[in-house]
Amino acid sequence: MADATIGLWTVPLAVFGGAIRVSTPFLFVSLGECITERSGRINLGLEGTLIMGAMSAYGISYLSGSPWLGVLAAGITGALLGALHAGICSLPRVNDIAVGIALMLFGTGLAFYLGKPLIEPTAARLPAIDFGWWSDIPQVRAALRINVLFLIGVAIAPILFWAFRTTRWGLLIRTAGESSDAARAMGYSVLWIRLRATMVGGFLAGIGGSFLSLFYPGSWNEGLSSGQGITAVALVIFARWDPMLCLWASLAFGGAAALGPALQSVGVTSGYHLFNAAPYILTLAIMIITCSPKRTLTGAPAELSITR
Amino acid sequence: MFVALFGKNPLDLYFYMYQGAFGTWFSWQNTLTRAAPLILTALCTALPAQLGMVIIGGEGALLIGALSATSVALAMPWAPPLVVQVAMVCAGVIGGGLWIALSGALRQYRGVNETISSLLLVYIGLAILNHLVEGMMRDPSSLNKPSTREIGAANMIGSIPGTDVHWGLLFGLIAAFASYILIYHTVFGFASRVAGGNIRAAKIVGLGVNKLILTICFLAGGAAGLAGMIEVAAVQGRTNANLAAGYGFTGILVAFLARQNPLAIIPVAILLGGISASGGLLQRRLGLPDASVLVLQGIIFVFVLASDALYGRIGFLKGKT
């Protein structure tokens, strides 16, 4: 058994591999939500978007045989759901958090309903790039099989960071998020900016969902997401609305999430559920350490309803 | 529209929905039973909202409340039912209360955003529950669905005489009325609303904001914990993963729809309870698949929320600012 040759290294290796695999949906959803929240809206419905994305990606990939079409379909579905959220929120006096929760239920229900016939068949899955070719040990190879989507996500983070800082669009989104009056004074429609920001956010979240169904765990079932979308929304706040920090936060979160299964594989079974909570505990602990009562939530968009 | 896709008559749908929710005495009872925990979990969001805090962790407090109530009941098998029930109420309220007060304390002393911390605590609470239920507190006879031992039929709180509605509804109503009086008719409530409106002004006047926040959070969590205790003592009879049925999250919706007003929570909770109660009937009568009921609920929620825009009344954010 290769287990014996690398011994205890299995755990950190599995955590590393898990960090990359588990964090991808978090990465996409949190980057998408980052755009949305920077524009001054919070979209809690991304949980539903994630599941809808997973479902539609699986369905399209099954029907067409091409996983990339599935990814595209997931993104479009997500963008549509984002447009729905933004559309409802642009009505006066509608609370974005409550609409988000309603859309979360709606998206989940719709995905379960439409996804019923998809539980049985297997769809074409996304390809992975083998980075572990230099190693003979199967665990190393397994850990280094990295999906293309992860690399795309990693690439999007610095691009977003750059776009927020330097491009016209980034500035517009930030203006809408910091002071809608200023954006209005410049002659831009805040609602229109937010609509587009929410749609792009939904697009990314849908792609995150496609990763769930097409790569890891790699099948469609109803317990696929289990709160990952909501957690990713929390990660954005944790990452201080900074795309690069979103990347690191998703990686840390994914690593912590992989800790439970990794320990289980080497025989530590007690406290399995407690290890499953590790990412949440870790996030909370980091927040407790890094926050201080003096400065709360630096970098928060001023128009965001939770900071008002 | 959605229903028409299945070739059913949409009007039938509304009819059955009405019938399933409020049409008969039986469905009224079903509705009210579902409304009870919703009232309490909605209070968990509405009370902190008076202080301008957005707490979305009612689900976690519900789980912890249920867990502590069950532990207390299991720890005192000798005591008479009344004592056990009182102890369960106390344990549920304290368990849930401390859970949300933790969020409040983190915000006040460490500046941690209470929305995230309460959300994270939901998952931590769920993990603790699963851990205990599958480990220490597991009933050896529950094989494929791990549960704690039953609290015993004698310790269950019964139904209101003449109905199938359990006493939990009464708890919910009392809690809602008490919150209303607390918020709008006491000095404490006034102080909370001042602090919610302008925290600096409250500090200048010399209000102990920390204390206010902790107390309100404790009460809010206590309400949700009570909901958990009721679910254990009136419906499930034991603690298991069934408890995480989303009451906490639906409660947030209720609170927002009710504009964070404790009295308005009661009818809204009954309405939403009715919608979920009608799900079963829709499934049977119209032959809709079960997931479609979820879709319908989502659509209804979306429409109800969107219809807020039509009211020219008070601003939606008024309760929160």
Interface of B with A in 52-71 (CB under 8 A): 54, 56
Using an 8 Å CB-CB cutoff, list chain B residues near A295.
111
Q: What is the mean pLDDT of residues B229-239?
A: 77
ipTM for this prediction = 0.72
Interface of B with A in 285-314 (CB under 8 A): 289, 291-299, 301-302, 305-306, 308-309, 311
pLDDT band for position A203 (cuts 50, 70, 90)? very high
| Chain A residue with the nearest C-alpha to that of B249 | A101
pLDDT in tens, A6-51: 556 667 777 777 777 778 888 898 999 888 888 888 888 888 898 8
pLDDT in tens, B109-129: 877 777 778 888 888 888 888
Give the H/E segment covering residue A235.
helix A228-238
Side-chain-side CA neighbours of A175 within 13 Å: the count stands at 20
What is residue B162's predicted lDDT score, i.e. its pLDDT?
57
- Average pLDDT score, chain A: 77
What is residue B144's predicted lDDT score, i.e. its pLDDT?
59
What is the distance between the alpha carbons of residues B309 and B294, in angstroms, rounded to a whole number?
A: 24
Partner A contacted by B276 (CB < 8 A): no
The pTM score is: 0.76
Helix axes A46-64, A190-214, angle to 10 degrees: 50
Partner A contacted by B249 (CB < 8 A): yes
What is the distance between the alpha carbons of residues A252 and A15, in angstroms, rounded to a whole number?
A: 10
By C-alpha distance, which of A214, A219, A233, A209 is closest to A108?
A209
pLDDT in tens, B65-110: 888 888 888 877 777 777 888 888 888 889 888 988 888 888 878 7
Q: Is the pLDDT of residue B33 over 80?
A: no
What is the distance between the alpha carbons of residues A154 and B10, in angstroms, rounded to a whole number?
A: 47
What is the distance between the alpha carbons of residues A147 and A20, in angstroms, rounded to a whole number?
A: 9
What is the distance between the alpha carbons of residues A78 and A203, in angstroms, rounded to a whole number?
A: 5
A130: three-class secondary structure by DSSP: strand
Choose the weakest-confidence range: A52-56, A69-73, B157-161, B214-218: B157-161
pLDDT in tens, A163-200: 888 888 888 888 888 888 888 888 888 888 889 889 99
Higher-confidence residue of A306 and B230: namely: B230
pLDDT in tens, A98-153: 778 778 878 887 887 777 777 666 666 666 666 655 656 666 666 666 777 888 88
Contact across the interface for B305 and A291, Cβ inside 8 Å: no
Contact across the interface for B127 and A231, Cβ inside 8 Å: no
Interface of A with B in 60-89 (CB under 8 A): 84, 88
What is residue B317's predicted lDDT score, i.e. its pLDDT?
40
Q: How many CB atoms lie within 10 A of CB B76?
A: 14
What is residue B312's predicted lDDT score, i.e. its pLDDT?
43
What is the distance between the alpha carbons of residues A168 and A58, in angstroms, rounded to a whole number?
A: 36
Interface of A with B in 113-152 (CB under 8 A): 113, 116
Using an 8 Å CB-CB cutoff, list chain B residues near A282.
none
Using an 8 Å CB-CB cutoff, list chain A residues near B319.
none
By C-alpha distance, which of B32, B31, B58 is closest to B43?
B58
What is the distance between the alpha carbons of residues A53 and A79, in angstroms, rounded to a whole number?
A: 10
Q: How far is CA B150 from CA A108, B79, B126, B239, in A?
A: 32, 15, 19, 8
